[in-house]
Amino acid sequence: MTTSAPARPIRIAMLGCGVVGTEVARFLLRDAEELGRRVGAPVELVGIAVRRLERTRSLDIPSELFTTDAKALVTRGDLDVVIEVIGGIEPARELILAALESGASVVTANKALLAEDGDTLYEAAVKAERDLYYEAAVAGAIPIVRPLRESLAGDRVERVLGIVNGTTNFILDAMTTTGAGFDDALDEAQRLGFAEADPTADVEGFDAAAKAAILAGLAFHTRVTIADVHREGITEVTAADVASASEIGSVVKLLAICEIDPEGSQVSVRVHPAMIPATHPLASVRGAYNAVFVESEAAGQLMFYGPGAGGAPTASAVLGDVVTVARHRVDGVFGPGETVHAQVEVLDIGRARTRYHVQIDVEDRPGVLAAVAEAFAVHDVSIKTVRQEGRGGDAQLVVVTHEADDAALAATVGQLRDLEMVRGVSSVMRVEGVS
Amino acid sequence: MTTSAPARPIRIAMLGCGVVGTEVARFLLRDAEELGRRVGAPVELVGIAVRRLERTRSLDIPSELFTTDAKALVTRGDLDVVIEVIGGIEPARELILAALESGASVVTANKALLAEDGDTLYEAAVKAERDLYYEAAVAGAIPIVRPLRESLAGDRVERVLGIVNGTTNFILDAMTTTGAGFDDALDEAQRLGFAEADPTADVEGFDAAAKAAILAGLAFHTRVTIADVHREGITEVTAADVASASEIGSVVKLLAICEIDPEGSQVSVRVHPAMIPATHPLASVRGAYNAVFVESEAAGQLMFYGPGAGGAPTASAVLGDVVTVARHRVDGVFGPGETVHAQVEVLDIGRARTRYHVQIDVEDRPGVLAAVAEAFAVHDVSIKTVRQEGRGGDAQLVVVTHEADDAALAATVGQLRDLEMVRGVSSVMRVEGVS
């Protein structure tokens, strides 16, 4: 609240000046006056640490702001806010800790670090009595950290389903729209700049897994690291899978899924491709957009949608946090920290409750349905629907199950593959977003 | 941040115990322990003011909590948080002011009061150094106040398009789905409990206008009251309008629209039915759901979606605010207030820039298109598309314009109605959500 006259300037330093950092600096310099009014004190960008000065010359940023000595910058002692947009584990962690110890609040977009070792940072922020804000770390410009941490703080979040990686959503959307296979869709995404030359972090689900860990921690007031997250990427998703999804009125999405059981004692946090009904709000999230769908006891179903990456959108999230923590600095206070009092068990994927869609190529002869049904039954997996289509001497069975332990479903699929009458299991995918 | 040992209890009182209040009380009582962990201090509901005690007997709430003396409750002097869910202007205003003066922070769901006289409340909160939070006042459970006030505080919001009234969205959705007229759709909405017996506040757009005023103030850091909002309801929307929309790949929605010009010096705040493209994210908001679509310079396009009304969803928003302001009370701080430094002019509707869709029944003879085109030209309204369909001796012209001053468009329509060759103007509606 800005009741008093503008106080001493809020001094801001930034670590890193890549795609996001350049946009942050540009807005901070251009809008300093307006941001100062919102903060209640002048804001001043006092330094930017980069690895190599040569690359900064082409930027429209005063050269005297740049330094290669990041450690000296964050420990100069008069900073109010340090923005960290280097990414990765080190030196980001060391610098963030040094900044907090030196009395600065920190705004970071570093999902990898938060998902790997958030606890160290959260505890350092508490000890330093400074803010650690990270809206930009999950789903880019979409406000999701603040809604989970504050807006839903009086509610019980039951499930979070997120499309939190734009590259994979672009690829799966292209496969859905054009019928292309994964490789062709990836080529197209790379050509258009939606996938990196080495797409591993995106297509193998590492990026989404980091965000899932952060979301689960926030949603369920507990500690979750990336090591707790079951992760499957989209490289095995075939055009046939996408077509199968379409036949049951669904689309394939890479989902970050965070669920808690009704007793609030066990959570499942996982990233994998899944079929969701075309009528689900997440199904219409196209291209490289992100969205996070939240189900809570009182609020019901909420969705947050927007650009999940990119320089300017991520800068928007960073600067929202900068204004918030700068206001706190002006008032000499700090915001809500992590609440991790609910120490809940993170379930192994085998114990997660899921549904499966299984497409089985079988010989078209008497007894085959009975044999297939038996494979489900012996693993205690209940079948919701089965559809048989004859195809010459062959037939195809499409089975959608009720919810069961993931391990039981996987074992069922394993047994199906071994059945003599089964020629092949052509599509296996989890089904989500069905109530 | 909850670093210290749990302090003295946070004492909460509530004004009103209707649909929303009952749910708030239920969750507060049931989840006191968990909410206390999130706040960092025990939370205690100490009193509920109601008009008549008789009606409280059927509620599962301890009878000793109830009182009919609201004034005595809010001024007892030991309260940390007062929840106001009475609604309306008085006695809500008087009680909120008394609560703030007595040292309590206030959480309110009262859109009518905030839109009519928010300034008085905001100033009282600043003076008392207490919080005034109102997430529940706009779009029910959807976190939109906090994202606008905090997440986007470092960005420039350019436009807000909101579906912020569930009743009208339900009616328009039913008209779209079934082809029904307004009266039949309203009957159905009333039968299903989505519209009140007296639906005026909803169908005439008063409810949406109050929310538009609040949204515009937050988005543009300025003061907007409901008197500044141009308001048109949906009672004039016909089945023909909905069919016309469908023919151009659009749907009809009642929108709350808040726009600022590129210089940031003029805003337009209005509520009216409009055609939006079926591909627009708002188009797929079905039934009684709400959504707020935000366009900002850096973040791009964001959407927030969820239930816009109802006891439990609104209670979720109220309780999120309760936890936030209770944390502030524990720490002896308060959150960001309103920023109204940008004193921008609110434009009259005539000067708002809009597009029109106009469907004109004309005689099918030479010169008619020229005469119609001339009517647009003399008012300096540029035609984007025109489509002619012959129908026996008659024809129908469907014109979609480029953006122009609303007054010029209205004058054009007026002139069209006067043309001899024009039998009638069968559908006139603004077009939004087109880039």
Question: B177-202: per-residue pLDDT in tens?
Answer: 999 999 999 999 999 999 999 999 99
Q: What's the rounded mean pLDDT across residues A359-374?
A: 90
DSSP B382: P
Chain A closest-CA separation from residue B172 CA (Å):
19
- β-strand partners of B354: B404
Contact criterion met (CB below 8 Å) for A28 and A60: no
CA of B304, closest CA in chain A: separation in Å?
A: 5
User: Do residue A175 and residue A97 come from a single domain?
Assistant: no
User: Rg of chain A over CA atoms, in angstroms?
Assistant: 24
Residue B19: pLDDT over 60:
yes
Q: Which residue did the predictor score with more confidence, B99 or B367?
A: B99
Task: Determine the pLDDT at residue B58.
Answer: 82
Picking from A38, A155, A322, the nearest residue to B339 by CB comes out as A38
Percent of chain B with pLDDT over 90: 82
**B142 to A31: CB separation less than 8 angstroms, yes or no:** no
User: Do residues A233 and A268 both lie within one domain?
Assistant: yes
The answer to whether residues A220 and A205 touch, using CB atoms and an 8 Å cutoff, is: no
The 3-state secondary structure of A230-261 reads EECCCCCCCHHHHHHHHHCCEEEEEEEEEEEC
Query: 3-state SS of chain B: helix, strand, coil percent to 5?
Result: 40, 25, 35
Task: Give mean pLDDT, residues B402-427.
Answer: 93
- pLDDT for A382-404, tens place per residue? 999 999 887 667 889 999 999 99
Q: Are strands B250-260 and B266-277 parallel, antiparallel or unpaired?
A: antiparallel
**pLDDT given for residue A388 in this prediction:** 86
pLDDT at A2 over 70: no
- Which chain B residues touch A221 with a CB distance below 8 Å? 37-38
Strands B81-84 and B10-15, by their bridges, are parallel
Query: How do residues A159-177 score in pLDDT, each as one tens digit?
Result: 999 999 999 999 999 999 9
Nearest-Cα residue of chain B relative to residue A336: B1
Summarize the confidence of residues A22-27 as an average pLDDT.
Answer: 96
Question: Given an 8 Å threshold on Cβ–Cβ distance, is B299 in contact with A331?
Answer: no
The answer to whether the CB of A376 falls within 8 A of the CB of A401 is: yes
Shared domain check, A302 and A356: no
Give tens-digit pLDDT for B225-262. 999 999 999 999 999 999 999 999 999 999 999 999 99
Indicate whether B295 and B177 sit together in one domain.
Answer: yes
Q: Is residue B339 part of a domain?
A: no
Looking at beta carbons, which residues of chain A come within 8 Å of B310?
300
Q: Over pLDDT 70: what percentage of chain B?
A: 97
Whether residue B402 sits in one domain with residue B322: no
Q: Is A253 annotated as a binding residue?
A: no
The whole-angstrom separation of Cα A216 and Cα B17 is 34
Q: What are the backbone angles phi and psi of residue A377, rounded to the nearest 5°?
A: -65, -40
Report chain B residues whose CB lies below 8 A from the CB of A283: none
Mutate to test the interface with B, among A155, A221, A286 (most CBs of B within 10 A): A155
Distance from CA of B4 to the nearest CA of A (A): 10
Q: Is B46 helix (H, G, I), strand (E, B) or coil?
A: strand
Tell me the per-residue pLDDT of B345-402, one tens digit each, with 9 for 90 and over.
898 898 999 999 999 999 888 888 999 999 999 999 999 999 988 766 788 999 999 9
Is A4 part of any domain?
A: no
pLDDT of residue A364: 84
Flag if B304 and A302 touch (Cβ within 8 Å).
Answer: yes
pLDDT score at A343? 78
CA A121 → CA A115, A334, A344, B170, distances in Å?
11, 15, 21, 46
Cα dihedral sign, A184-A190-A196-A202:
negative
CB B192 within 8 A of CB B96: no
Residues facing B387 on adjacent strands: B398
| Better-predicted residue by pLDDT, A335 or A250 | A250
Amino acid making up residue B393: G
Domain-located, residue B347: no
Rounded distance, CA A432 to CA A401, Å? 11
d(CA A37, nearest CA chain B) in Å: 7
Residues of A in Cβ contact (< 8 Å) with B126? 1, 3
Q: State the burial class of residue A191 (Cβ atoms within 10 Å of its Cβ: 0-12, 13-18, 19+).
A: exposed
- Residue A151's pLDDT is 93
Q: Is the same domain home to B91 and B31? A: yes
- The confidence band for B3, taking pLDDT boundaries of 50, 70 and 90, is very low
- What's the rounded Cα separation, in Å, for the pair A37 and B345? 19
A224 and A112 assigned to the same domain: no
Q: Cα angle at B382 between B376 and B386, to 5 degrees?
A: 80
- Which residues of A are annotated as catalytic? 211
Question: Which residue in B has a C-alpha nearest to residue A29's C-alpha?
Answer: B154
Q: Where in the sequence is the domain holding B422, given as residue range(s)?
A: 352-431
Mutant choice from A127, A151, A156 vs B, greatest count of B C-beta within 10 A: A151
CA–CA distance, B210 with B134 (Å, rounded to integer) = 13
pLDDT digits (tens, 9 = 90+) for A105-141: 999 999 999 999 999 999 999 999 999 999 999 998 9
Q: What is the mean pLDDT of residues A100-105?
A: 97
pLDDT band at B7; cut points 50, 70, 90: low
pLDDT at B1 over 50: no
Question: How close are the terminal C-alpha atoms of chain A, in Å?
Answer: 43
Q: How far apart are CA B56 and CA A57, in angstroms?
A: 71
Phi, psi values for residue B400, rounded to 5°: -115, 130
Q: Which pLDDT score, from 0 to 100, does residue A312 have?
A: 95
What distance in Å separates residue A421's CA from the closest CA in chain B?
44
Query: HSE on the CB side for A282, CA within 13 Å?
Result: 31
The gap between the terminal CA atoms of chain B, to the nearest Å, is 43
Examine the domain organization and report whether B37 and B160 are in the same domain.
no
Q: Is residue A5 part of a domain?
A: no
- B301: domain CATH number is 3.30.360.10
Substitution target in B150, B263, B296 with the highest count of A β-carbons within 10 Å is: B150
- What SS3 state is found at B280? coil
What ipTM does the predicted assembly reach?
0.91
Segment holding B172, helix H or strand E = helix B166-178
Q: What is the pLDDT of residue A381?
A: 95
- Is A20 within any annotated ligand binding site? yes
Contact of B427 with B399, CB cutoff 8 Å: no
Token pair of B291, please? 């959504």
Within a domain: residue B341? no
CB neighbour list of residue A413: distance below 8 Å, 6 or more residues apart: A356, A358, A425, A428
Following CA atoms B170, B171, B173, B179 in sequence, which dihedral angle do they give, to the nearest 10 degrees?
Answer: 150
B160 is in an annotated binding site: no
In this complex, which of B153, B302, B303 lies closest to A38 when CB atoms are compared? Answer: B153
pLDDT at residue B4 is higher than 60: no
- The tokens describing A108, both together, are 């970071």
- Residues of B within 8 A of A123 (CB-CB) are none
- Tokens encoding B259: 């726009």
| Three-class HEC string of chain A | CCCCCCCCCEEEEEECCCHHHHHHHHHHHHCHHHHHHHHCCCEEEEEEECCCHHHHCCCCCCHHHEECCHHHHHCCCCCCEEEECCCCCCCHHHHHHHHHHCCCEEEECCHHHHHHHHHHHHHHHHHHCCCEECHHHCCCCCCCHHHHHHHCCCCCEEEEEEECCHHHHHHHHHHHHHCCCHHHHHHHHHHCCCCCCCCHHHHCCHHHHHHHHHHHHHHHCCCCCHHHCEECCCCCCCHHHHHHHHHCCEEEEEEEEEEECCCCCEEEEEEEEEEEECCCHHHHCCCCEEEEEEEECCCEEEEEEEECCCHHHHHHHHHHHHHHHHHHHHHCCCCCCCCCCCCCEECCHHHCEEEEEEEEEEECCCCHHHHHHHHHHHCCCCEEEEEEEEECCEEEEEEEECCEEHHHHHHHHHHHHHCCCEEEEEEEEEECCCC
Q: List the CATH number of the domain containing A375.
A: 3.30.70.260
* A111 annotated ligand binder: yes
Tell me phi and psi for residue A205, to 5 degrees.
Answer: 85, 5
Last residue of a domain, one of B275, B291, B307: B307
Interface contacts A/B by beta carbons within 8 Å: 201
Which among B297, B331, B365 is the end of a domain? Answer: B331
Based on the fold, state whether residues B256 and B392 are members of the same structural domain: no
Whether the CB-CB separation of A135 and B147 falls below 8 Å is answered with no
Among B217, B207, B198, CA closest to B164: B207
A342 in a structural domain: no
Question: How far away is chain A from the Cα of B319, in angstroms, using its nearest Cα?
Answer: 4
Query: Rounded to whole angstroms, how far apart are CA atoms A42 and A26?
Result: 16
Range of A27-41, A327-341, B328-342 with top mean pLDDT: A27-41
Residue B309 is classified by DSSP as S
Quick check: A3 pLDDT over 50?
no
Which residues of B are annotated as catalytic?
211
CB contact under 8 A, A2 and B333: no
Across the interface, which of A141, A155, A333 has its CB nearest the CB of B331? Answer: A333
**What pLDDT was estimated at residue A261?**
92
Q: Does residue B340 fall inside a structural domain?
A: no
Known binding residue A21? Answer is yes
What pairing do the DSSP bridges indicate for beta strands A266-277 and A230-231? parallel
In-domain check, residue B5 = no
Cis (ω within 30 of 0) for the bond into A91? yes
Into how many domains does chain A fold?
A: 3
Percent of chain A with pLDDT over 90: 82
My answer on whether B126 and B169 are in the same domain is no
Question: Which of A102, A139, A125, A68 is CA-nearest to residue A294?
Answer: A139
Question: CATH number for the domain including B86?
Answer: 3.40.50.720
> Which of B156, B284, B319 is nearest residue A154 as measured by Cβ atoms?
B319
B69 shares its domain with B106: yes
CB atoms within 10 A of CB A62: 12
Closest residue of chain B to A128, computed from CA coordinates: B3
pLDDT of A4 higher than 60: no
State how beta strands A383-391 and A394-401 pair.
Answer: antiparallel
How many CB atoms lie under 10 A from the CB of residue A158? 17
CB < 8 Å to B152, chain A: 143, 316, 320
Residue B20 has pLDDT above 80, yes or no: yes
Q: Which member of A147, A298, A306 has the closest CB to residue B27?
A: A298
Mean pLDDT of A224-235: 96
What are the backbone dihedrals phi and psi of residue A170, each rounded to the nearest 5 degrees, phi first?
Answer: -60, -45
Closest by CA position to B154, among listed A94, A64, A136, A155: A136
Please report which confidence band the pLDDT of residue B334 belongs to, taking 50, 70 and 90 as the band edges.
Answer: confident
Domain identity same for B286 and B356: no
Q: What pLDDT is stored for residue B340 in this prediction?
A: 67
